Amino acid sequence: MKSLISMPKPAHRGTIIHQRHGTKYADPYGWLRADSWQEVVRDPETLPTNIREHLQAENRYADAFLADTKELQQALLSEMKGRIIPDESDVPTRDGPWYYSSEYQKGAEHPVFIRFATGKDGQPNIPQKEILLDSNALAKGHDFFEIGCLVHSPDHGKIAWTVDTKGSEYFEVFVRDLSSGITTDTGIRHATDDLLWMGDSQALLWIWRDAQSRPKQVRKHQLGTRPDGDPVLYTEADDGFFIGLSQTSDHRFGLIELRDHQTSEIHTVELNDPKAMPICLWSRTIGIEADADHGNGVFSVLTNADNAVDFQIVRSRSTPMDMARSKPFIAHQPGVLLLGQQQFANFHVRVERENALPRITIHDERDGSEHQIEFDDAAYALGLGGGYEYDTNWLRFAVSTPSRPRRVYEYNMQTRERILRKEQVLPSGHDPDKYVVERHFAPAQDGQMIPITLLRPVDMKSDGTNPLLLYGYGAYGISMPASFSANRLSLVDRGVVFAIAHVRGGKEKGFAWYDEGRRERKMNSFTDFIAVAEHLIEMKISAPKRMVAMGGSAGGMLMGVISNLRPELFAGIVAQVPFVDVLNTMSDASLPLTPPEWPEWGDPLHNVDDCTRIAGYCPITNVSNQAYPPIFATAGLTDTRVTWWEPAKWIAKLRYLAPDAGPFLLKTEMSAGHGGASGRYAGLVKVAEAQAFALKVLERTRLKP
């Protein structure tokens, strides 16, 4: 599809050359990376004029190309909005005398945080609702607005929350006294979205970000004091490690969690001791991961130590933990990946996955008996619902399938009673019987079987003519859930089959599935995706040039690589905030995520083999003059994860080296970050835009299914 619309003025080609281990790599569009990027993500108005003009010209070109889909975009947007309950609310969650929840007011972009007193029957007193925070009021005047987290104090007298108004993930911290209604600006300006109350409700633990947007210190803020005097409880010296905060299920310990993509370290803080300092529970050993919980005086640690590739759980009463003296609790079972755990007074709950399907197993601490919560669907997504209470028999979980909306259940671990608390309702109507969910397996080059989740119209014909959208990610061990998405229905209702390629790099088939899709074996992710596309063609579900590929972030890298390897397979490619300048980014240690990402991709800055390997697949490095399909890339100006210049450089190089291919589109959000526009409706505009592009290149632009 060749566009007749006038393209932007060709991007200036500079003369930047990078010397990497004796090899020269040209970077002609390196000027799109502003040296002042750290200032830009905090204040987008400081973006250099030449870069701003280039991005704005690209935005105008993308808009012009999609101009004939404006009516379609509005129809898609209307459909998506019609599937959202205007005054949607969450299921309240009990914490002793109160039930906490959130809701949306009709037409509002942001949630209102609320609570209800616990009634004499143990249920929330719904008529007497107390509004804790209306984030819509706070969002006024901001192009971007996001509440990172909101946590209530242990005494239920205060709330604290984090706010990002740029999309850069630098959060500010505020506290409100619920009895007086007085809000205090703590003065904290460079935080992550993690907050944790100390047990006395007078102090908060928070994480400070440095100028490179890296979480570096855990600090303790005493209410009513200046943040520049906050004592530092922990400093992470290694730029390759992230810091996170959580607390154990019994609320006794705060957990300072230090991780890269293969190694963990955990420190504990006694939350009820105002003078407590961190104590190391689990020290770091390269390649060993750990996740901790606590109850009944015992730490339970989920870990891959001692060659437990798919993880085991060990227990200990002592800190630091010593594997030699720890007691086995849940033994390692190859092929059964332990995903997470939650401790209760009388029960221990674990989520595990076998053959790409998750399940919940309940362990009774009193007699050691176990049982599983059963599900009948061929493919589904499952997750624990969390909760505040430790001494309870009730567990909350949510389940959905690609065709059936999300259902929230409460499950009595003692009686095995299952109560449906909420089912996602689509106001415009939804009939799951109009769709079929299937699980297929495609053979990879090396004989591995790659799972595919398929959502299709019930009347689909297997004649090789079906348009199809193939989604993929394949990185960081993140598995793509077979969950329900109301937005996808707009495609499927127009006859487009939706498929997820569960390629290596995720953990759908265990930890080994992840390990076989990173570093030295990263090419497996890309060839797996191509194998899935070829399998769908062989099954006559679709055909070459009848498929659109889609992926975001690391999945956007996947899109860049497969466009270089097999462009003839696809009618179009949607690459959302794509990580496509891998070689340059992973060689730039000043960028926020570079040192932490070396265990995932390799270190081309210091290792010649890593450099050569990454250069062999890096999307920008391998652009050539070939028949690329239309490509639609997106970016966020304040994105600190995938910086704006990566997709901008990629599109410029594609247009220069393959002038007769494409067209190639770039749309940059000038006031948003990695997640795009904020708000439940505003984000749908970009979803509709991407779907309209897919439908246009598939020539499925009819307005009504």
Angle between helices 682-697 and 70-82 (to 10 degrees): 130
φ/ψ (deg, to 5) at 565: -80, -45
Angle between helices 49-65 and 645-657 (to 10 degrees): 60
10 Å Cβ neighbour count for 109? 17
Residues 203/222, Cβ–Cβ less than 8 Å: yes
- 264 CB-side CA count, 13 A: 18
User: Sign of dihedral through CA atoms 610, 613, 616, 617?
Assistant: negative
Query: End-to-end distance of the chain based on CA atoms, in angstroms?
Result: 24
Q: Measured between alpha carbons, how far is residue 77 from residues 72, 423, 550, 675, 688 in Å?
A: 8, 23, 19, 18, 6
Concerning whether 246 is annotated as a catalytic residue, the answer is: no
336: helix, strand or coil: strand
Concerning whether 553 is annotated as a catalytic residue, the answer is: yes
Angle between helices 523-538 and 554-565 (to 10 degrees): 60
Beta bridge partners of 173: 162
Amino acid identity, residue 546?
R
Residues 561/526, Cβ–Cβ less than 8 Å: yes
Length of the chain: 705
Give the residue among 306, 454, 295 at the shortest CA–CA distance from 363. 295
| Sequence-ordered list of residues with C-beta below 8 angstroms from that of 420, at least 6 positions apart, any chain | 407, 408, 409
Q: Which of 54, 363, 674, 678 is labelled catalytic?
A: 674
Q: Which of 230, 260, 515, 639 is labelled catalytic?
A: 639
Integer Cα distance of 583 and 457 in angstroms: 41
Residues 45/97, Cβ–Cβ less than 8 Å: no
Residue with tokens 């925070």: 133
User: Sign of dihedral through CA atoms 602, 607, 613, 618?
Assistant: positive
Containing H/E element for 597? Answer: helix 594-601
Residues 490/76, Cβ–Cβ less than 8 Å: yes
Integer Cα distance of 524 and 531 in angstroms: 10
3-state helix, strand, coil in the chain (%, to 5): 20, 35, 45
Residues 278/269, Cβ–Cβ less than 8 Å: yes
Concerning whether 674 is annotated as a catalytic residue, the answer is: yes
Residue with tokens 């005097």: 229
Give the residue among 187, 163, 165, 185 at the shortest CA–CA distance from 175. 185
Q: Which of 249, 316, 525, 553 is labelled catalytic?
A: 553
Q: Measured between alpha carbons, how far is residue 60 from residues 57, 211, 291 in Å?
A: 5, 33, 47
- On the 0-12 / 13-18 / 19+ scale of CB atoms within 10 A, 252 is middle
Containing H/E element for 654? Answer: helix 645-657
Give the residue among 154, 158, 335 at the shortest CA–CA distance from 250. 154
10 Å Cβ neighbour count for 608? 12
Q: Which are the catalytic amino acids?
A: 553, 639, 674
